[in-house]
Amino acid sequence: MDEIAIIKRQLQREKLARKQAESILETKALELYKANELLRELNQNLESEIAIRTKSLMESEEKYRTVIEQAKDIIYRIDDEGYFLFINKIGIEKFGYTEEEIIGKRYIEFIPEDDLEKEFSYYTEVRDSEVLTDYHEFRIVAKNGNIFWVGQNVNRIVDSSGIIYFTAVARDITQRKATERALAKAKIELQKSEIKYKGILENMELGIIEVDTIGNILRVYDAFNKMLGYEGDELVGKNANETLLVESFEEKLSEEDEKRIKGQTGVYEVKIKKKDGSEIWVIISGAPFYDDKGNVIGSIGVHYDITDRKELETQLEISRRKAVKAQQAEKAFLANMSHEIRTPLNAIIGMSHLLMDTRLDEEQSDFIDTLSNSASMLKTLISDILDISKIDAGSLEVQNRPFNLRLLGEKLFKTFKKQEREGKVEFKYFCDPNIHSSLSSDPQLINQVLINLLGNAQKFTDSGRIELIIDLISENNKTAKIRFQVKDTGIGISQIEANQIFQEFKQANNTIRTKFGGSGLGLSISYQLVKLLGGKLSVSSAEGEGSNFIFELDMKISEELPREEKKISLLNKIGTNENTILVVEDNALNIKYITSLLKKWEIKHHIAYNGKEAYDLFLKNEYDLIFMDLQMPVMGGFEATQLIRESKNTNARVPIIALTASTFLSKKRLALKAGMTNFLSKPFTPDQLHEMIDKYLNNSQIEIISDEDFVFSDKLDRVYLKRAYGNDSEYALDMFETYLDIIDEDLLLIQDSIKTNDISALKKQLHRIKPTFTMVGIGEITKNIESVEPELDGMTTAKLEDWFEEFDKLTKSKTPLIIDEINRINTWLKN
Amino acid sequence: MKGIVFTEFLEMVEMKFGYEMVDKIIEESELPSNGIYTSIGTYHHSEIVQLLGNLSTNSKTDAQVLLKAFGEYLFDTFLKAYPQFFSAVDNPFDFLISIDSHIHVEVLKLYPDATLPKFDTQRLEDGSLEMIYQSERKMAALAEGLIEKSIAHYNSTHIITKELINEDGSIVKFTIKQT
């Protein structure tokens, strides 16, 4: 029983052990299978990985070989002794040898002989220094003998077995080397040229500085230091304007600085201070300079010392003023001469007119006529000399008034006809009857030209004819073209001479002067006068056959009747008995001439022999008209007029007519400026005097204002004044009076500023005073100031003084107007 | 502990004492495996301790003697199963050295979970071999049996001295001297 149980247990154990073992084996087998599978997979991956790696290695090798072969750079390998192991295609090309010729050769065989020592020591150094990589530039000789530069990067390589060799990548840098050499050469050239120009600049006495945008000095050149007495970098860092500029030029310079910032150049003259404080004039040429981005970073100023030139300018200015003064003196002399000669002549002419009004027989009348005409001719001749100077000065006045040309010619004809001597020379006159009886031009000038030409013809014609021919060439309803001819049968002149006779002081030839005398001015004056009248005087002539002087003028056809035809009876009474005229004249003859006429016309008058007497009489009597000579002893006409105008007298605005022998426009202008109403040139005819009296005595009543509102004088800017003051005449009066109170003092202040050259004060004063003028209706003075204001900085003291002289005169000339206006306003307010 | 130790141990018991003894020591022991072993399995080493203890009691034989006898028995088994290990060398010392440097390395490849004793070997100047057994199993007697049989296998004669380095028998030094 026990045995069976044991066997059963044994069997059971064996069975269970077997199953356990089977189960373990099954698990193990599975594990084994899986491991096997994994292994196989790994193996497979490994194979493909190897394949890929191998392929990429091959590709990479291929790639590098291609790169090396196709590289633009020379690639080669040498051993530690310098023998070539490898060289790529480009290297072979560059060297010009075959691959076989290079491989195995030593590097020194390709080095130019001159470089051998240098390159050998370089090679040895690199080899022994164990430098891993290095850059080196050297020359190589190709097979054909050409030498080229290469720049080479060399790597020192030690392989696993300890063998040293070098791999190098080299590039042909021949071009670059050439450029470098060229650049180096250019740099040297540039330096040379810089030194050269610096030398030139320093020797040119041009002081150069560089400043930044706020004017601080960056660099100073020697010549500038020398110019101002500084040394070295003493000025660097200082502000140029503060340190160097003379104060009165600050504004000028700040304008220039602004220009510079805008990138503009400029040339200007200023005064600058030397180190010792003395001042010099310099001309500065300033130009901006820029940084890389084109911004203005400062400016260069080139200074040239022009002190000497400025002094010369001042000297010249003084000389010029002297010359101007001399010229003025000459003019004054001529004017005085004219006055001195014309005054007695005036008396002769006037007297002959008076004589004509007496009872004369025919013969006496004829004599008087001749006397009168001769005096007139004398007057004309005297005028010639004056005319030339007037023409030269451009101060001849061309009038435009209606006249009868036919009568003008007739008068001339009569004058010359009387001079016919024993029938040897016959005067003839023709005037086209179709010429309009009233043409407008300057009859006085035409008369003068014709007198000259007729006189000239008379002088050179011993026998035969002298003809004055006036033809109508063409006419429309506005203008007529007239041809004047003066023909003679005299000695004539050659064509060459004809070209010269219109020049001043040129007569046909020198024998003429000795034989015929004369100034030689006549034809020249005639030529100039015709030119002024708008024509051209010419001559056609043949020697021995006489001459023909011709000119043509375009004249307007006037609708107004010529004055000559106004039949003014000298016996006509004018004005009323209440009218009184004051005649102010120092010349007894003239007094007689005028008073005779006034007596004849029954006009009450007083006589004053100088300005002082005139003023005294003015204060005591109420005159309706004053005739005032200009040049008189004790007190002249200008001063007397000013006294009258400035007086508080209710009659301060009485018309004053200047009597002047001067034909200079400037004199007339002065008269008007002094407050005179009009002028009458001596010598004057009774007609002209009558006309003047007529004008002022008969019209004087109209002057009284009849309008409801006060009307400002048309000599002032009445539009502005009306707008400014409206009907408030009291306000206007206040303003006008204030103007008078301040103006003189203001002018003095301005004058002082100019004398002390205080430009800034001057500017302030001008600016302050400017509107004052507009307020009293003399805006032209405001405009005068406005026109000078921008110029002030650049003006020299001399120029400023000149300007002031004119300005002062202009301003003062307006004073009578203002006074008149004050009086007028007062009168109006009273009424 | 590898299953081969248990199956071979029980084979030896059956051969020497009959299956009744095998049944007896299994029944008397409290074995998690219930005494069912296969050479390729792995079992807790306390089981062999219990089986050895019960055999010692029932056979009235010292456990160390039994264990040494088991070593001698096991050698024959190894020789039969793994002849390549023995034919690779031609003398006992080379073989003994190769246990730790070669045979156990191979065993671990096959059974990564195996707990093997460590044998540090050193050739001494006098030509003997010092071999230090080291194992928490404290089965130096088993090793001794194996060593003796190995030397015999290569027809050599040696004197083996045994010295406890650790009192508990976890480290034991064998000195093998050729005679």
Handedness of CA A256, A257, A260, A262 (dihedral sign): negative
The pLDDT of residue A718: 79
pLDDT class of A385 with cuts at 50, 70, 90: low
Answer yes or no: is pLDDT of A515 > 60. no
Instruction: Note whether B19 contacts A24, CB cutoff 8 Å.
Output: no
In angstroms, the CA A494 to CA A511 distance is 14
The pLDDT of residue A507: 55
Class of domain A580-703: alpha beta
- List Cβ neighbours of A735 (8 Å cut-off, separation of 6 or more): A725, A775, A776
The pLDDT of residue B172: 94
The pLDDT of residue A706: 33
The fraction of chain B above a pLDDT of 70, given in percent, is 100
The pLDDT of residue A574: 47
| Size of the A and B interface in Cβ pairs below 8 Å | 31
Q: What is the pTM of this model?
A: 0.31
Whether the CB of A6 is below 8 Å from some CB of chain B: the reply is yes
Nearest CA in chain A to B14: A10
Q: What is the DSSP letter of A558?
A: P
Q: Which CATH architecture has domain A401-565?
A: 2-Layer Sandwich (3.30)
B134/chain A closest Cα distance in angstroms: 30
Instruction: Note whether B36 contacts A6, CB cutoff 8 Å.
Output: no
State the SS3 of A180-195.
HHHHHHHHHHHHHHHH
For the stretch A667-692, pLDDT in tens is 677 777 778 888 887 777 777 788 88
Nearest CA in chain A to B39: A21
Q: Which residues of A touch B19 (CB under 8 A)?
A: 6-7, 10
Nearest CA in chain B to A32: B110
B17/chain A closest Cα distance in angstroms: 14
Give the lowest-confidence range in A237-251, A644-658, A666-680.
Answer: A666-680
Nearest CA in chain B to A16: B36
Instruction: Specify whether the CB–CB gap between A630 and A642 falls below 8 A.
Output: no
Whether the CB of B22 is below 8 Å from some CB of chain A: the reply is yes
Please name the member of B23, B39, B40 whose beta carbon is closest to the beta carbon of A6. B23
The pLDDT of residue A512: 59
Whether the CB of B20 is below 8 Å from some CB of chain A: the reply is yes
Instruction: Note whether A28 contacts B40, CB cutoff 8 Å.
Output: yes
The pLDDT of residue A394: 65
Give the lowest-confidence range in A242-246, A586-590, A633-637, B19-23.
Answer: A586-590
Please name the member of B26, B34, B38 whose beta carbon is closest to the beta carbon of A21. B38
Estimate the crossing angle of helix A522-533 against helix A443-460, to 10 degrees.
150
Instruction: Note whether A17 contacts B36, CB cutoff 8 Å.
Output: yes
For the stretch A464-488, pLDDT in tens is 889 999 999 998 888 999 999 999 9
Q: Once rounded to an integer, what is the mean pLDDT over residues A716-730?
A: 77
The pLDDT of residue A564: 46
Torsional class of A362: left (φ above 0), alpha (ψ -120 to 50), beta (otherwise): alpha
Phi, psi (5° rounding) for residue A261?
-65, -35
Please name the member of B36, B40, B41 whose beta carbon is closest to the beta carbon of A13. B36
Q: Which residues, numbered 159 to 178 in chain B, qualify as contacts with chain A under a Cβ-Cβ cut-off of 8 Å?
A: none
Instruction: Specify whether the CB–CB gap between B51 and B17 falls below 8 A.
Output: no
Whether the CB of A320 is below 8 Å from some CB of chain B: the reply is no
Q: Which residues of A touch B41 (CB under 8 A)?
A: 20-21, 24
Estimate the crossing angle of helix A2-70 against helix B19-28, to 10 degrees.
80
Question: What are the residue boundaries of the structural domains of chain A, listed by start?
Answer: 1-63, 71-172, 204-231+240-305, 401-565, 580-703, 718-830
The pLDDT of residue A607: 92
Instruction: Specify whether the CB–CB gap between A131 and A156 falls below 8 A.
Output: yes
In angstroms, the CA A151 to CA A636 distance is 104
The pLDDT of residue A335: 61
Answer yes or no: is pLDDT of A563 > 80. no
pLDDT class of A56 with cuts at 50, 70, 90: confident
pLDDT class of B68 with cuts at 50, 70, 90: very high
Amino acid occupying residue A467 = E
> Both tokens of residue A595?
């008073």
> Which residue in A140, A688, A181 sits closest to A399, CA to CA?
A688
Q: Which residues of A touch B38 (CB under 8 A)?
A: 17-18, 20-21, 24
In angstroms, the CA A628 to CA A631 distance is 9
The pLDDT of residue A707: 40
List Cα–Cα distances, A208 to A192, A242, A271, in angstroms.
Answer: 20, 17, 16
CATH code for residues A204-231+240-305:
3.30.450.20
> A718-830 adopts what CATH topology?
Four Helix Bundle (Hemerythrin (Met), subunit A) (1.20.120)
> Both tokens of residue A99?
């691959």
SS3 content of chain A, % helix, strand, coil (to 5): 55, 20, 25
- List Cβ neighbours of A464 (8 Å cut-off, separation of 6 or more): A425, A426, A488, A489, A490, A546
Whether the CB of A10 is below 8 Å from some CB of chain B: the reply is yes
pLDDT class of B122 with cuts at 50, 70, 90: very high
Give the lowest-confidence range in A192-196, A499-503, A638-642, B30-34.
Answer: A499-503
Torsional class of B55: left (φ above 0), alpha (ψ -120 to 50), beta (otherwise): alpha
B41/chain A closest Cα distance in angstroms: 7
Q: Do domains A71-172 and A204-231+240-305 have the same CATH topology?
A: yes
> Which residue in A41, A50, A34, A168 sits closest to A110, CA to CA?
A168
Cα A100 versus chain centre, distance = 85
Question: What are the residue boundaries of the structural domains of chain B, listed by start?
Answer: 3-61, 71-178
Torsional class of A608: left (φ above 0), alpha (ψ -120 to 50), beta (otherwise): beta
B110/chain A closest Cα distance in angstroms: 11
A554 three-state secondary structure: strand
Nearest CA in chain B to A15: B36
Q: Which residues of A touch B23 (CB under 8 A)?
A: 6, 9-10
Instruction: Specify whether the CB–CB gap between A772 and A750 falls below 8 A.
Output: no
Q: Which residues of A touch B40 (CB under 8 A)?
A: 21, 24-25, 28
Whose tokens are 């004050």? That residue is A822
Amino acid occupying residue A800 = L
Instruction: Note whether B23 contacts A21, CB cutoff 8 Å.
Output: no
Alpha helices in A204-279 (DSSP H): 222-228, 240-244, 250-261
Q: Which residues of B touch A17 (CB under 8 A)?
A: 7, 36-38
Whether the CB of B17 is below 8 Å from some CB of chain A: the reply is no
Answer yes or no: is pLDDT of A705 > 50. no
Q: Which residues of B touch A35 (CB under 8 A)?
A: none
**Structural element, H or E, at residue A102:** helix A99-102
Instruction: Note whether A24 contacts B38, CB cutoff 8 Å.
Output: yes
For the stretch A297-337, pLDDT in tens is 888 888 888 888 888 888 888 988 888 888 777 766 766 67
Q: Which residues, numbered 18 to 37 in chain A, qualify as contacts with chain B under a Cβ-Cβ cut-off of 8 Å?
A: 18, 20-21, 24-25, 28
Residue from B10, B20, B23 to probe the interface with A (highest A Cβ count within 10 Å): B23
Whether the CB of B114 is below 8 Å from some CB of chain A: the reply is no
pLDDT class of A119 with cuts at 50, 70, 90: confident
Torsional class of A802: left (φ above 0), alpha (ψ -120 to 50), beta (otherwise): alpha
Whose tokens are 């495996």? That residue is B33
Q: Which residues of A touch B34 (CB under 8 A)?
A: 13, 16
Instruction: Note whether B22 contacts A10, CB cutoff 8 Å.
Output: yes
Q: Per DSSP, what are the bridge partners of residue A757? A: none
Task: Report DSSP letters for A405-465, one per residue.
Answer: HHHHHHHHHHHHHTT--TTSEEEEEEE-TTS-S-EEE-HHHHHHHHHHHHHHHHHH-SSEE
For the stretch B10-37, pLDDT in tens is 999 999 999 999 999 999 999 999 889 9
A12 three-state secondary structure: helix
Whether the CB of B40 is below 8 Å from some CB of chain A: the reply is yes
Please name the member of B23, B35, B40 whose beta carbon is closest to the beta carbon of A24. B40
Please name the member of B23, B37, B39 whose beta carbon is closest to the beta carbon of A10. B23
Class of domain B71-178: alpha beta
In angstroms, the CA A819 to CA A641 distance is 13
Residue from B6, B21, B38, B111 to probe the interface with A (highest A Cβ count within 10 Å): B38
> Both tokens of residue A380?
């004309």
Please name the member of A9, A17, A21 whose beta carbon is closest to the beta carbon of B23. A9
Instruction: Determine whether A665 is exposed, middle or buried from the number of CB atoms within 10 Å of its CB (0-12, 13-18, 19+).
Output: middle
Task: Report DSSP letters for A28-64, one per residue.
Answer: HHHHHHHHHHHHHHHHHHHHHHHHHHHHHHHHHHHHH
- Average pLDDT of chain A? 82
Nearest CA in chain A to B7: A17
The number of beta carbons lying within 10 Å of the beta carbon of residue B54 is 17
Instruction: Specify whether the CB–CB gap between A438 and A406 falls below 8 A.
Output: no
CATH code for residues A71-172:
3.30.450.20
Q: Per DSSP, what are the bridge partners of residue A581? A: A605, A625
Instruction: Determine whether A444 is exposed, middle or buried from the number of CB atoms within 10 Å of its CB (0-12, 13-18, 19+).
Output: middle
> Both tokens of residue A630?
């200009």
The pLDDT of residue A393: 62
Nearest CA in chain B to A26: B40
- What ipTM was predicted for this assembly? 0.76
Cα A554 versus chain centre, distance = 37
For the stretch A655-668, pLDDT in tens is 899 887 665 666 67
Whether the CB of B41 is below 8 Å from some CB of chain A: the reply is yes
List Cα–Cα distances, A284 to A267, A301, A307, A489, B132, in angstroms.
Answer: 5, 6, 13, 70, 113
Whether the CB of B11 is below 8 Å from some CB of chain A: the reply is no
In angstroms, the CA A582 to CA A672 distance is 18
Please name the member of B20, B36, B41 whose beta carbon is closest to the beta carbon of A6. B20
Instruction: Note whether B19 contacts A6, CB cutoff 8 Å.
Output: yes
Rg, Å, chain A Cα set: 56
